[in-house]
Structure 1
C-alpha cells in the first residue's frame, strides 16, 4: 500500500518591502513521501518570495510538466517558472523557452547546484537567477515545522526575517547568475 502525501498548512504574513508586496494568506501544502522537509520549506519560501497575482504550486515532486511553483497570467500562460532544489540543465532550457522569467530557489550549495549546468545548452541562461539562503539556514528552520504552521516573512534590503511558530531566524537572500 502506497504512503500518501502529508498535508501541512501555513498561515502566512508577508511583508516584502523590497518589492512592495504585503499580504496575509494561507497555504495547504501536500508533502510527498519522497520530499524532504528542506525541499518543502524551500518551496514555501519561494512561494512567499515570489508571491503575486497568479502564483500557484505546480504539480507533484515527480511531475516533469510543471515546476514546483509557477505564476500564470490571466490567459493561463506561465510567465514565471520557479524551480526548487537542483534542476538539470534540460529542465532549465525548457523552462526558459516556455516562460518569460525562470528562477531557481535552492536549499543546497549554489555552486554545486550550478556546476553541472556549465557548458550545457540553456536558453537565455544569462537571464536565469538562482536564489539561495545562508549556509545551514534551511536546516536550522526545518526542526520547527509542524503540520499547522504560523509563518511571518519580512524582506528588507535582501534580508529575510522569518518567524516560524514562534522561532525567529534571519538570512541574507543571495542571488547568483548563470551567465
Structure 2
C-alpha cells in the first residue's frame, strides 16, 4: 500500500515592503511521504518570498519535468522557476533555458557547501539563476511553524523576512550565493 501525502493548510498574510506588495493567501501544501518537514517548510518560505497571484506549487517531487513552484504568464510560458535542494548542472541549465528567472533555495549545510564549491564555476554563466542558501539552524527554527493548520504573518524588507504565528517569531536572512537579478525583476 502506497503512503499518502500529508496535507497542510496555511493562511498567510504577506507584506512585501520591497515590492510594495500586500497579499493574503490560503495555501494547501501536500507533503510527499519522502519529503522532510524542513524541505516542506522551505518550500512554503520560498512561496512567501515570491508571492504572486499566479504563483503555484507544482507536483514537486512527483514530477521531474517541473520545479517545486512556478509562475506562468498568459501564454503558459514560465516566468519564474523555483527549485529546492542541490540539483545537478543539467537540471539548472534546463530551468534557465525554460524560464525567464530561476531561483534555487539550497539547504543542508555540509552537502550544500561542497555541492556549491563544485558547481559554482559551472553555473556562474547562467545570468538568470539566483542561488540562495539557508543554514541548518534557521531551517530547524522554521520547522517550529509547521502545523497542519497554520496562520502566518510574513513581512519582507531589505533582504530580511520576519515570520510569525501565535507562538513563534523568526527573522530569516538567506546567504545569496549567486544573484541572477530576481529582485530587480520584481520576482
TM-score, L = length of structure 1: 0.90
Structure 2 partner of 1:163: 164
Deviant stretches of 4+, over 6 Å: none
Provide TM-score, normalisation by structure 2: 0.86
Change in Cα spacing, 1:139 to 1:63, as seen in structure 2 (3 Å) is same
Once the 2 structures are TM-superposed, how far is the Cα of residue 7 of structure 1 from its aligned partner? 0.2
CA contact (8 A) 1:132 1:175 kept: yes
**1:82 alignment partner, SS class:** strand
Query: Which deviations, in whole Å up to 9, do the C-alpha atoms of 1:19-50 show, x marking residues without a partner?
Result: 21111111000000000011101111111101
Matched residue of 2:61: which SS?
Answer: coil
Q: Is the 8 A contact 1:96 1:124 kept in 2?
A: no
Return the alpha-carbon distance in structure 2 between the equivalents of residues 156 and 18 of structure 1. Answer: 5
Question: How many residues of Structure 1 are paired with residues of Structure 2 in the alignment?
Answer: 178
RMSD: 2.0
Please name the residue that 1:29 is paired with: 29
Q: Relative to 1, partners in 2 of residues 1:108 and 1:165: Cα closer, same or farther, differing over 3 Å? A: farther
Structure 2 unaligned runs (5+)?
181-187
Contact 1:96 1:123 in 2 (8 A): no
Structure 2 Cα separation of the partners of residues 15 and 57 of structure 1: 20
CA distance in 2, matches of 1:82, 1:106: 11
| Other structure's SS at 1:146 match | coil
Structure-1 residue corresponding to 2:114: 112
User: Are residues 53 and 16 of structure 1, via their aligned partners in 2, closer, same or farther at CA, if it must alter by over 3 Å?
Assistant: same
> How many Å separate the matches in 1 of 2:63 and 2:47?
18
1:148 aligns with 2:117: no
* Counterpart for residue 137 of structure 2: 136
Aligned equivalents of 1:60 and 1:5: distance in 2?
12
